[in-house]
Structure 1
Amino acid sequence: MSAKITIERATVGDSDEVAVMVGELLSEIMNTIGVQAFSFDLEETTNRLKDFLNLEKYFVFVARADGGNLVGFVALYESYALYAEGSFGTMPELYVRPEFRSNHVGLRLVSQAKSFGTSRGWKRLEVTTPPIPQFDKTLAFYEREGFAITGGRKLKIAL
């Protein structure tokens, strides 16, 4: 697919389509690993995204094809930690629709995330990959983009 792709900061008006892509991302992960790891409600996700964008708690950049359709996105939020020497960014979601994955859309979204982080004075950008070995290609992509494995695993507990 050789459509012209532009990268731009998402607006609240993009929330519906970004939320649909979040659902696509979560479904892809769960189908690949064979575990119902996430619950997803489109309306709740859309409303949550609108709130996050309005409060500037979440920063989203979208990849838009010629016709205006969104083909991918990257989400970022700001964090603070002593180990990170101050403020840093976390990239909780990066998704490119499958038919656009060979067009360097992910590369362009990550590049935009790095530029945005630099403009905010972040010391680093962190990302967690989906489970390995099923997502070895995802890990390899991040490593090609300069990310380094820092050890450990992501853990969670429901509150």
Structure 2
Amino acid sequence: MITILKISNEEVADIVPLLKELYMELGEESESIEFLNENLINEILYSGLTDIYLAKYDNEKVGIFTLTENQAIYAGGKYGSLDEMYVIPEYRNKNIGKLMIDKIKEIGKEKSWERIDVTAPTEKIWERTVHFYKNNGFVFTGPKLKLKINRHN
């Protein structure tokens, strides 16, 4: 049986390994893994802006996603950002990703979001990931850029 539930502060330690696996699989910058610790995750949860969900398959922790509420004029008001989503590779053929997207859509409706954005890698090796999102109703709208802010200087 597959369950998908919002985590509490007591479950933060359970998600660190899943996030680390996600960042390593994506080839994320080392700083993403450097930032990864229980204190930061607790701060993010405490902010109330981001919720973290854990997917379990027969009580085994197999997936995670994070959703953050944003707002913008171009989006028509409030919208969600799917910041992280990961399913352990050996469970990817068990429909868990689809069930997670269904849960994300349900949450978006409950929160009256106009849309949900996700940044997906565009390199050829990630075609399957982009295809997964498109098969679940997402449409490609272009790349995302970032500007790093050095908060400590």
1:62 is displaced (CA, Å) by 1.1
Residue matched to 2:89: 98
Aligned AA for 2:60? N
Aligned AA for 2:24? S
Task: Give the distance between the partners of 2:9 and 2:56, measured in 1 at CA.
Answer: 15
1:28 is displaced (CA, Å) by 0.5
- Tell me whether 1:45 sits opposite 2:42 in the alignment: no
Task: Give the distance between the partners of 2:137 and 2:71, measured in 1 at CA.
Answer: 21
Task: Give the distance between the partners of 1:45 and 1:114, measured in 2 at CA.
Answer: 28
Task: Give the distance between the partners of 1:14 and 1:130, measured in 2 at CA.
Answer: 28
| DSSP-derived class of the 1:71 partner | strand
1:54 is displaced (CA, Å) by 2.4
**Structure 1: which 5+ runs fail to align?**
31-35
Give me the TM-score of the superposition, normalised by structure 1.
0.87
Aligned AA for 1:101? R
Residue matched to 1:122: 113
Aligned AA for 2:4? I
1:131 is displaced (CA, Å) by 3.6
Task: Give the distance between the partners of 1:61 and 1:79, measured in 2 at CA.
Answer: 18
Q: CA RMSD in A?
A: 1.4
1:82 is displaced (CA, Å) by 0.4
| DSSP-derived class of the 1:8 partner | strand
| Number of residue pairs matched by the alignment | 148
Say whether the 8 Å CA contact 2:53–2:65 is kept in structure 1: yes
Moved over 4 A (4+): none
Task: Give the distance between the partners of 2:60 and 2:45, measured in 1 at CA.
Answer: 20
Identify which of structures 1 and 2 has the higher relative contact order when contacts are C-alpha pairs closer than 8 Å and 6+ apart: 1
Greater strand percent: which structure? Answer: 2
| DSSP-derived class of the 2:37 partner | helix
Task: Give the distance between the partners of 1:131 and 1:17, measured in 2 at CA.
Answer: 29
Give me the TM-score of the superposition, normalised by structure 2.
0.90
Per-residue displacement from partner, 1:42-74 (whole Å, max 9, x unpaired)?
Answer: 7x43211112212322111111122x3310011
Task: Give the distance between the partners of 1:5 and 1:87, measured in 2 at CA.
Answer: 29
Residue matched to 2:47: 55
Residue matched to 1:10: 7
Percent identical across equivalent pairs?
A: 29
